[in-house]
Chains A and B, each alone.
Chain A
Amino acid sequence: MSARENILKAIAMNQPELAELPVIDIASTIRYEDSYTQFKTVLESIGGKVELISDLTVLKEQLISDRLNGKFVVNTIETLGDVDEKAAFLSAFELEKVEKGYVKGTVGVAENGAVWIYESQMINRLVPFICQHLILVIEKKNIVDNLHQAYEKIDVSKEGFGVFIAGPSKTADIEQSLVIGAHGARSATIYVIA
C-alpha cells in the first residue's frame, strides 16, 4: 500500500466521532466607531505610515518625480500613470534593486492594519516583498472592521496568490529588539483615498 493509503486509512480508523463545525456569528465580532482611525492607529503602532488623500494627485506627482530622478520604481496602478508591465518578466536579481513599489490593495482591515492584495494587483508576486519601500493604495470605503468581514469581501482562491500585508517587514530575533526592514520592504506607506 502506498503511504497515502496507509495514512488515510490510519486516520479514518483513529479519528473521533464527527464533531459539528461552529457557526461563526460575525455580527458578534468587534466594530469600531471610526474604522479609518483604528486602521491608522494600528498600522502606525506596527511601523507603517498612513496618509488620507482626497484624490490621486499627490501620488501621481510622486511617481512622476521618482521617475524623473531616475529612481527604479515599479508602478502597478493604472490610475497613477504608466504601468510597468515588464515587471512580470524581471528576475529577482533585477527586482532586488526596486526602490519603490506602487501597489493597489483591495481591502484594509481596521483591527490589524492589514491590506489584502491579489496577485493581479502586483504584476509580479515578488514586487510587494522585494521592493525597498512599499506604497499601498486603498479606498476608504474598503476598510472593514475585522478579518471576518475582510474574508467575506475577498475570494482567496480567485487567483493563484494573494496576501495580507500589515506594515513593513520586521524582526525581533535579536534580543527581542524590534528592527524594521528584515528581508522585505523597509517601509510601508498606505495611502487611503477618502
Chain B
Amino acid sequence: MAVKHADLAEKFIADEPRTNWHDETLWFVREKRDKAAHGLPEWEQLREWGSQIKNNTLSNLSNYLKEFEEKATANGIKVHWASDAQEHNEIVHKIIQKHGIQKIVKSKSMLTEECQLNEFLQHRGIEVVDTDLGERIVQFRKEPPSHIVLPAIHLKKEDVSATFHEHLQTEKGNNDPQYLTEAARQHLRNKFVESQLAITGVNFAIAETGGFVVCTNEGNADMGAHTAPVHIACMGFEKLIPKAAHLSVFLRLLARSATGQPITTYSSHFNKPRSNQEMHLVIVDNGRSKQLGREDFRNSLKCIRCAACFNTCPVYRRSGGHSYHTAVAGPIGSILNPNLDMKANADLPFASTLCGSCTNVCPVKINIHEQLWKWRQVIVAEGYVATSKKISMLGMSFVFSSPKIYRLMGKTARGIMHVFPFIINNKLNTWYKQREMPEAPKDSFRDWYLKNRKN
C-alpha cells in the first residue's frame, strides 16, 4: 500500500476545528436528505424501483447499449467507445485537434476525473476550464475535488477568498460567499460565451430514446453545451437506463439523496445536436466490464453518484475526501477503486467502520458495507495487506488504525449521535429493528484508564 488512507486522514484531522466543521457540515447535508426522503411516503418503494431498474439494466446491458447506440446515432449523435481512460482521453483529444479548438469549458464529470482528462490535455498544451463553481475553485488551487457532489467541501470561505484574490483579483479578505460567487459568475460567463467546445458528464442515458440527461444546479452544463459548436458528453456505460419513464424514479431519488433538494435546478434532456452543432458521446468501460463479472461487487455499478453514502459516513466526514487518494472517494469509491488497481487501493476498503449507514441511505440499495467487508477478504487473500492489519477484518478498522483517530472519534461518539448514524430509530429503518442499540459508555476505556491509573 503506497499511500495509506489512515496516514492522509491523520493529516486532515490535525486541524481539529476544521475537521469538526467538515464533519458537521456533511452531517447537516445528510439531515437535509432525511427530511426530503421522509417527505415522500413512497420513498422506500422508490428505492426499490430504482434498485430493480438498475438490476434489470445490468442484466441486459449489452442489448441496452446497442439499442442506445442505434437510437443516438439516428438522432445525429456520434457515439464513441473507449476501453480505458487512455482511449477516452485520446478520443476527446482527437476531436479537439480536428477542429483546432482552443477554448474548452467542462462541467462536472466524475468520469473525466477518473480518466484524468485535464492532465492528459494539459500535457498536450490544451487548457480546460472547469465551470462548476466548486470545481473551478479546486482547479485554481491545483487540487482534485474532495467530494463528487460538493467538490470544494474541504475548503473554508477564507480559502476561497484567498484563491479568488489571487486568480480573479477579488478584494483581499472579502469572504462573502455572495460576492465570491458573483466574481466567479462574471469570470465564467466570459468563458462560456467564447467557448468552442463543451465537455459534460452524463447522469442518465436512455436506451429507448438515444438521449441523455445532465443535472446541475448552476446551469453550467447548459451554458457550455448550448454555446459551443462542439459538445462532447462522456459516460461510464453504467449510466444507462432502459426507458424515459424511468427518469422519474431516478430524478426523484437523485437530488433528494444528494443535497435534500426535491430536484436539481436544471435537468436537461439532450436528444439531438442543434443545427450546425456536433454532438459526441463517449461510452467508457475502464474496468467496469470486469466489475460486472465480479459477482460480489457488480452491484456497485448501480451507483447514481448522489454521494449520500459520503455524507453519512463517519469516516469520510472525519477524514476528508483527499485521504482516499482517488477520483471517487467515500464508501462507494472504496468499492470501485480496488477493482481498478487493487494494490494501490488496498487500504480503502479498510477506511470504514462497516456501520452500514451507507447501505441504509443508498437510493439504489447497493449493499455498500457488505461489499467493503468482502473486499477486505479478497485483499487479504491476495496478500495486499500486512498481518497486523488483519484485526481490521472485523470492522472499525479505520477507528483502530491510529490512536489519534480513535480518540477523536471516541470523544465525539460518546456525546453525539451522528458518529453512529446507523442508529436511527425510524420505522423505515429495518436494519435498526433487528439490532440492539449499543450503550455508549460515559468514559472511554482510555479516559477511564488515565483517571484510574493515577489512583
Contact = CB atoms under 8 A, between A and B. Distances in A.
Interface of A: 2-4, 6-8, 10-22, 24, 28-30, 42, 46, 91-93, 96, 109, 111-114, 124-126, 129-130, 146-148, 150-152, 156-157, 159-177, 179, 181-185
Contacts of A4: 81
B265 A160 contact: no
A24 B274 CA distance: 33
Q: Which of B29, B60, B177, B219 has the most CB of A within 10 A?
A: B219
Contact of A93 (B193, B218, B298): B193
A184 B223 contact: yes
Interface residues on B, range: 35 or more
Contact of B209 (A93, A96, A157): A157
A166 B178 contact: no
B100 interface: no
Given A10-B289, A129-B223, A174 B263 contact: no
Contacts of A111: 40, 252, 262
Interface in B212-241: 217-220, 222-223, 226-227, 237
6 interchain residue pairs of minimum CB distance: A184-B219, A14-B293, A112-B262, A160-B272, A182-B218, A173-B134
14 contacts: A7-B283, A13-B293, A21-B52, A22-B52, A92-B226, A114-B263, A125-B222, A130-B223, A150-B248, A151-B245, A165-B266, A175-B177, A179-B177, A182-B217
A114 B189 CA distance: 24
Given A156-B211, A170-B218, A183-B223, A147 B81 contact: no
Interface in B127-178: 131-134, 137, 150-153, 155-157, 160, 177-178
Contacts of A109: 263
Given A161-B271, A166-B265, A175-B25, 17 more contacts: A10-B293, A21-B52, A22-B52, A22-B56, A46-B265, A93-B193, A96-B193, A147-B248, A148-B248, A157-B209, A160-B273, A166-B261, A169-B219, A170-B217, A173-B132, A173-B137, A174-B177
B150 A173 contact: yes
Contacts of A12: 62
Nearest to A124: B226
B262 A113 contact: yes
A21 B56 contact: yes
Nearest to B41: A30
A161 B211 CA distance: 9
Contact of A176 (B28, B180, B222, B268): B28
Contacts of B156: 175
Interface string B248-268: 110110000001011111111
Contact of A185 (B219, B242, B261, B263): B219
B181 A174 contact: yes
Contacts of B157: 174-175, 177
A14 B218 contact: no
Contacts, number: 259
A112 B253 CA distance: 12
A118 to B, nearest CB: 10
Given A114-B267, A129-B266, A169-B217, A11 B242 contact: no
B13 interface: no
Contacts of B217: 169-171, 182
Nearest to A174: B177
A161 B194 contact: no
A93 B180 CA distance: 23
B20 interface: no
Contacts of B283: 7
Given A15-B59, A19-B55, A182-B218, A163 B269 contact: yes
A88 to B, nearest CB: 9
A157 B133 contact: no
Contacts of A91: 193
Interface stretch (B42-50, B324-332, B340-348): B42-50
Given A6-B83, A147-B252, A129 B219 contact: yes
Contacts of B48: 22
Contact of B152 (A129, A174, A183): A174
A7 B80 CA distance: 12
A179 B219 CA distance: 13
Nearest to B273: A160
Interface in B1-59: 25, 28-29, 40-42, 45, 48-49, 52-53, 55-56, 58-59
B83 A3 contact: yes
Contacts of A24: 49, 245-246, 248-249
A24 B189 CA distance: 41
Contact of A21 (B53, B155, B189): B53
A125 B222 CA distance: 8
B285 to A, nearest CB: 5
Given A11-B62, A11-B292, A22-B48, A92 B193 contact: yes
A23 to B, nearest CB: 9
Contact of A183 (B41, B178, B188): B188
A162 B237 CA distance: 23
Nearest to A182: B218
B87 interface: yes
Nearest to B214: A163
Contact of B264 (A152, A166, A177): A166
A76 B281 CA distance: 30
A164 B227 contact: no
Interface in B188-214: 188-189, 192-195, 206, 209-211
Contacts of B40: 30, 111
Contacts of A17: 59
Contacts of A15: 58-62, 292
A13 B298 CA distance: 13
B414 interface: no
